[in-house]
Amino acid sequence: MTDRRILPAPTLKGEIQVPGDKSISHRAVMLSALSEGTSTLRGLLRGEDVLSTIACFRALGVAIEVEQEQVRVHGVGLQGLKAPDRVLDCGNSGTTLRLMMGILSAQPFESRLTGDASLNRRPIERVAKPLREMGAHIEDLRASESERVVKILGRPLRGIHYRLPVASAQVKSAVLLAGLYASGETLVEEVTASRDHSEIMLRHKGVRLDVQDGKIRLRPGQELRAEDIEVPGDISSAAFFLVGGSIGKHSEILLKNVGVNPTRTGVLDILQAMGAEIEWIRPHQVGGEAVADLRVRSAPLHATIIQGELIPRLIDEIPVLCIAAAAAQGSTIIHDAAELRVKESDRLAGIAAGLAACGDAGQIEGDDM
């Protein structure tokens, strides 16, 4: 591992285009691969997680061209995937693993999924349970804590009514993807709203969904059409500059074309509740996704409480929000953060250790901080 020394800057000023949204990038590749025809994806994140998704679909017979400015996915339709000749490696990507489980459960062949040591430690039962209720055959084959293969014997699926016990966009998406192949209606019911990128992109691809009162209904027998996709900037990446611009003296940063999907803007709500000066500029929609430029200026921050329904809307931004909390007046309290313990690492413990290394006292009590 390379050591890097980071020196403080007196101020932060400039204009930034943050990388493409990772959640949307995964779904853009997946749904384009299952579409009839060629889709051109622009702004796609080129990080390792999304590259793992691309590699999996290439192994399933989908031609994907990664070019300088765009990615072309030559979709094979719902019935066009081919049996892979090797284990599909999801790398460190939980999204790849869990959403692929939904797709592969309905294929007329056997497939196997694995990942790196970190991913192989992460639970899959939350996804496997509803898929098994749909008729999927999924085995979690472990050689050790960090060595695992998920074996899937594809078979016909049936639609179900599934009530999510906790908010999870990945579980919801896996069930909806499986529902594309199922006989009968698939209904997913959410107690607390989670990210809805899958629903938005399914509609963009021509799938009819009925979404109301926390219930998503998907009727069978629908095909996906090829559609070009413009991926907005990732608000999770933008969050670091929003916090830096807030706590840095005399700072002003303009972030261009950031995705501001309401299921993801909890970080903006909390920062503004803490006193941050964040301006929304040129709000518009791209492919059904809300997008805006964001301008942040220095402002004194004060403590707040983060809990309840806000947690799913900012779960990935809690680490950087803790930096804002460390720079704010007063003690910030975070409740209901259990999901941070089952990421690629125990993020809650990692946050506390990082704050302690910087001289801040972050205290953990159960799943609260």
Q: Where are the beta strands (DSSP E) in the chain?
A: 13-17, 35-42, 63-66, 70-76, 88-89, 110-114, 137-144, 147-153, 161-163, 186-189, 209-212, 215-218, 224-225, 229-230, 252-259, 277-286, 289-297, 305-306, 333-334
Known active-site residue 316: yes
| Terminal C-alpha separation, the chain | 29
> How many helices (H) and strands (E) are present in the chain, helices listed first?
12, 19
| Long-range contacts at 341-345 (CB < 8 A, ≥ 24 apart) | 341/367, 342/122, 342/123, 343/94, 343/122, 344/92, 344/94, 344/118, 344/119, 344/122, 345/118
Q: How far apart are CA 86 and CA 76, in angstroms?
A: 20
- What CA–CA distances, in Å, run from 261 to 96, 157, 264? 21, 31, 5
Q: Which residue has the tokens 């942040």?
A: 296
Residues 125, 235, 187: CA angle, nearest 5 degrees: 40
- Of 215, 93, 204, 88, residue with least CA distance to 162: 215
The residue from 234, 293, 316, 336 that is catalytic is 316
- What CA–CA distances, in Å, run from 124 to 127, 154, 236, 332? 5, 17, 24, 32
Q: Which residues are catalytic?
A: 316
